[in-house]
Amino acid sequence: MFKDKKVIVVMPAYNAAQTLRRTYSEVMEQEIVDLVILVDDASHDDTANIAMTLPNTKVFVHEKNKGYGANQKMCYEMALKEGGDIIIMVHPDYQYTPKLIPAIASLIGNGLYHCVLGSRILGGYALKGGMPFWKYIANRILTLTENILIGAKLSEYHTGYRGFSRQLLEELPFKGNSDDFVFDNQMLAQIIWLGYTVAEVSCPTKYFSEASSLNFSRSVKYGFGCLLTAFQFRLSKIGVINSRMFPRKL
């Protein structure tokens, strides 16, 4: 499909031993992925050992748990080092279907967009897939507030299914972002800050015991972090503050 583009799938992993093989198999069934990169964030199970047996897979293991954001940073740094032109993040917990990889890669590889999200909200898949109702309501409130402050029209900012062009990842100052879950949100805000359009495709999701998910207290912390990011974006935009996260163009 993309003879001149190298497609790399990155997997930020933590205790994904039960679902990794199933996710990997579906990734490779799409027949366009050149390399899988898995970064294991000091899992307590056999995630890393299983990953090392998978063909066309490079594995990096953190000696201690560094956080979801730090995990992604290493994923993207490795993908760029390996020459990735299209880099797609898929969680190895099988919450998001890898069957959308060709669609995401097509939108990026054909030069239409530099960032594509798999949205659980478009098509109403969040609740159908088993998202807890309180998480759905929080998602909608956060997204509405963020759209107002950031000036975008995304259906959600909180999906973990994302595709990027090499050009975009090289331009983003993501290395200075949080090592925690709010990294995702900061990254999207930076993409919009730089003037890129973010595309979305409707994505079926599954919520089950093996799938990773934030508990209530972590979700509250994450929510406040998202709001802080949006406020920093707005205040930087109107020139009230100078933020390292949102540097002014010269």
pLDDT surpasses 50 at 229: yes
Q: What is the mean pLDDT of the chain?
A: 93
Q: CB-based contacts of 98: which residues, under 8 Å, 6+ apart? A: 9, 23, 26, 27, 29, 30, 90
- Cα three-residue angle 179-192-11, rounded to 5 degrees: 40
For residues 24 and 33, what is the distance between their CA atoms, to the nearest angstrom? 11
Mean per-residue pLDDT, 205-229: 78
Give the pLDDT confidence score for residue 205 in this predicted structure: 81
For residues 52 and 46, what is the distance between their CA atoms, to the nearest angstrom? 10
Give the pLDDT confidence score for residue 42 in this predicted structure: 97
Residue 5 CB neighbours (<10 A): 17
Mean per-residue pLDDT, 95-118: 96
Within 13 A of 118's CA, how many CA atoms are on the CB side? 24
Question: Which 3 state secondary structure label does DSSP give 110?
Answer: coil
Range in 6-10, 169-173, 176-180, 213-217 the model is least confident about: 213-217
Contact in structure between 44 and 15 (CB atoms under 8 Å) = yes
Quote the percentage of the chain above a pLDDT of 70.
Answer: 94
Give the pLDDT confidence score for residue 180 in this predicted structure: 95
The listed CATH number (3.40.50.720, 3.20.20.10, 3.90.550.10, 2.30.110.10) that belongs to domain 7-237: 3.90.550.10
Burial, 42: exposed, middle or buried (Cβ in 10 Å; 0-12, 13-18, 19+)? middle
Range in 138-147, 202-211, 240-249 the model is least confident about: 202-211
Note the pLDDT tens digit of each residue in 138-191.
889 999 999 999 999 999 999 999 999 999 999 999 999 999 999 999 999 999
Contact in structure between 171 and 136 (CB atoms under 8 Å) = no
Task: Give the model's confidence band at 214: pLDDT under 50 very low, under 70 low, under 90 confident, else very high.
Answer: low
Give the pLDDT confidence score for residue 1 in this predicted structure: 60
For residues 26 and 126, what is the distance between their CA atoms, to the nearest angstrom? 21
Give the pLDDT confidence score for residue 129 in this predicted structure: 75
Q: CB-based contacts of 182: which residues, under 8 Å, 6+ apart? A: 69, 222, 225, 226, 228, 229
For residues 171 and 187, what is the distance between their CA atoms, to the nearest angstrom? 11
Strands across the sheet with 57-61, in order? 57-61, 35-40, 7-13, 86-89, 162-165, 115-119, 198-202
Distances (CA, A) of 26 to 15, 22, 90: 19, 6, 11
Contact in structure between 113 and 189 (CB atoms under 8 Å) = no
Note the pLDDT tens digit of each residue in 55-71.
999 999 999 999 999 99
Q: What residues does each domain of the chain span?
A: 7-237
Note the pLDDT tens digit of each residue in 124-135.
777 877 788 888
Give the pLDDT confidence score for residue 250 in this predicted structure: 45
Note the pLDDT tens digit of each residue in 16-44.
999 999 999 999 999 999 999 999 999 99
Quote the percentage of the chain above a pLDDT of 90.
Answer: 81
Provide the angle, in degrees to the nearest 10, between the axes of the packed helices 133-150 and 216-237.
10
Contact in structure between 118 and 100 (CB atoms under 8 Å) = yes
Give the pLDDT confidence score for residue 213 in this predicted structure: 58
